[in-house]
């Protein structure tokens, strides 16, 4: 599914599941053959055919299991897909999301073109029915996403599903579904940009995508070229771009949806469209995945698509410094000293610690907007992956209220984070005898010292940093691909802030 043409149509269905016409109706079954409410209604309408199938041992309700039944009497849909939910007393967020994903994938393997998913009516811990709907759209969109535009022939095994209805108590749930659809579309854009190879997705390509978003949703867009960045004194950002023949682009998007003059929230996304490490060359293994080093910038553009669709009543600025980090005669060398836009000087001890070098100038540029808050996001450090793995993004902040707001949004969006320390003791590791600071602080606490480096450029406003190195994409030849994170977190945070306005 591409962000542009293959997102399925989602809708709310409020009638009895046995009466709704669709190619397939999905219902849940807990272990010990405990039926969900929708499954009980289907069983009653079919005069016990579902209970009989379960009694025969064809399915036992284990998580991840499915059973497809056809042409049951009394049911309008020609197919009924039963989805195992696991133990009822243990059913929580992960089990719910897995069940929706399993259901959508299983229906996608049939000839069904539309489906009714009733799993949204099942209680998920302390979550609301609205949460169920929003998450169902996000999970379904994720399960159906595909990226085959670079193949000579489209993937013939792709799903035929083009419409999914979700069971809800009333049509007022449409607002929650709309939010889920907007997040799904934003994630799809971020994933498309991440999965597009670096010979296509260049800094100029990202600038073109930003301009298209601006035309579609009425954003203001400005793209600063090398000369404009030089005039502003972005010596740190431009130093990274020196090793490439692809011109750097500094992208600025503005959504003026809030009150005139209200302080905006600024999102800053790292966009290294390919990262070879520069002179401090990366090892060959997995270097093919370094086109994903623009995932922070891609997520900012994805978030803007979502807020454009939602028409959020909030002022938001997106900043995307974009360039490549390659080795040639002009590239940064270990030991070089550069002057950032803030005037602070940086000794470059490792040219592969380049993300912070482009972000620091973007953080200084952000000051001109007198922001209410600044959130930067970047596939910044391998150390973050070692520390936290691939489940949460690392969160750093110089303000507890901002950190708590992001943590709450992350929980609501199920795009989770883990707050990390930003203590002054770590700043000592960035000392340089020759410049104001070094760009690395050694192996110990590598993600933390990277955040400490950035904090030196964010002292004049409320700021948070998300290290998404472990969450923005999946690694490995067979599963390589963008996840679209942290678009759900960003959009939920902006929705929350708009609600407080």
Residues marked as catalytic = 282, 356
Rounded Cα gap, residues 348 and 243, in angstroms: 14
As beta bridge partners, residue 438 has 347
Token pair recorded at residue 151: 């193949």
Q: CA–CA separation, 457 vs 319, rounded Å?
A: 15
- Is residue 372 classed as helix, strand or coil in its secondary structure? coil
- Closest residue by Cα to residue 132 from 151, 119, 146: 119
Written in H, E and C, the secondary structure of 394-445 is: EEEECCHHHHHHHHHHHHHHCCCEEECCCCHHHHHHHCCCCCCEECCCCCCC
Within 260-341, residue ranges assigned H as helices are 295-310
Query: Both tokens of residue 83?
Result: 């989805």
**Helical axes 487-500 vs 400-413, angle rounded to 10°:** 120
Q: Give the tokens for residue 168.
A: 């809800």
Question: In a 3-state reduction of DSSP, which class is residue 87?
Answer: coil
Other C-beta atoms lying within 10 Å of the C-beta of residue 259 = 11
CA–centroid distance for 54 within its chain: 38
What is the C-alpha to C-alpha distance for residues 328 and 331, in angstroms, rounded to an integer? 5
Q: How far apart are CA 13 and CA 18, in angstroms?
A: 12
Quick one: tokens of 22?
Answer: 């669709």
Burial letters 16-36, b for 16+ CB under 10 A, else e: ebbebebbbbbbbbbbebebb
Could you give the 3-state DSSP secondary structure of residue 9?
Answer: strand
- Rounded-to-integer distance, Cα 222 and Cα 321, Å: 12
Provide the token pair at 464.
């948070």
Q: Give the angle 106-144-97 at the CA atoms, nearest 5°.
A: 70
């Amino acid at each position: 599914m591409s962000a542009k043409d293959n997102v399925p149509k989602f809708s709310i269905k409020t009638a009895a599941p046995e009466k709704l016409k669709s190619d397939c109706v999905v219902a849940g079954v807990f272990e010990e053959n405990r039926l969900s409410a929708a499954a009980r209604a289907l069983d009653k309408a079919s005069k016990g055919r579902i209970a009989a199938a379960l009694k025969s041992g064809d399915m036992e309700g284990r998580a991840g299991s499915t059973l497809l039944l056809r042409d049951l009497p009394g049911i309008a849909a020609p197919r009924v897909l039963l989805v195992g939910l696991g133990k009822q007393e243990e059913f929580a967020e992960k089990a719910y999301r897995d069940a929706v994903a399993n259901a959508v994938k299983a229906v996608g393997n049939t000839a069904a073109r539309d489906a009714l998913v009733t799993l949204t009516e099942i209680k998920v811990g302390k979550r609301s029915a609205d949460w169920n709907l929003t998450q169902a759209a996000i999970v379904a969109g994720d399960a159906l996403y595909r990226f085959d535009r670079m193949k000579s022939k489209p993937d013939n095994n792709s799903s035929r599903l083009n419409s999914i209805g979700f069971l809800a108590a009333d049509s007022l749930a449409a607002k929650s579904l709309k939010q889920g659809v907007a997040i799904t579309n934003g994630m799809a854009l971020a994933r498309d940009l991440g999965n597009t190879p670096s010979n296509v997705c260049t800094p100029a390509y990202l600038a073109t995508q930003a301009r298209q978003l601006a035309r579609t949703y009425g954003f203001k867009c400005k793209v600063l070229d090398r000369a404009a960045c030089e005039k502003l004194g972005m010596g740190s950002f431009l130093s990274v771009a020196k090793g490439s023949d692809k011109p750097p682009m500094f992208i600025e998007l503005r959504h003026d949806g809030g009150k005139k003059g209200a302080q905006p929230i600024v999102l800053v996304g790292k966009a290294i469209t390919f990262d070879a490490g520069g002179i401090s060359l990366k090892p060959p293994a997995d270097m093919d995945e370094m086109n994903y080093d623009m995932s922070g910038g891609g997520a900012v553009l994805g978030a803007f698509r979502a807020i454009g669709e939602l028409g959020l009543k909030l002022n938001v600025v997106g900043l995307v410094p974009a360039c490549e980090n390659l080795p040639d005669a002009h590239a940064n060398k270990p030991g070089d000293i550069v002057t950032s836009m803030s005037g602070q000087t940086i000794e470059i001890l490792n040219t592969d610690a380049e993300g912070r070098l482009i972000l620091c100038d973007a953080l200084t540029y952000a000051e001109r907007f007198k922001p209410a808050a600044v959130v930067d996001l970047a596939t910044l450090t391998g150390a973050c992956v070692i520390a936290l793995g691939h489940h949460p993004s690392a969160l750093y902040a110089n303000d507890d209220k901002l950190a708590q707001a992001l943590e709450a949004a992350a929980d609501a969006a199920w795009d989770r984070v883990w707050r990390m320390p930003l203590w002054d003791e770590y700043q000592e590791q960035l000392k340089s005898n020759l410049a104001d600071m070094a760009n690395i602080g050694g192996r110990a606490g590598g993600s933390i010292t990277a955040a400490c480096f950035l904090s030196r450029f964010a002292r004049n406003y409320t700021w948070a940093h998300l290290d998404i190195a472990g969450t923005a994409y999946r690694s490995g030849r067979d599963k390589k691909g963008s996840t679209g994170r942290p678009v759900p977190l960003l959009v939920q945070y902006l929705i929350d802030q708009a609600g407080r306005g």
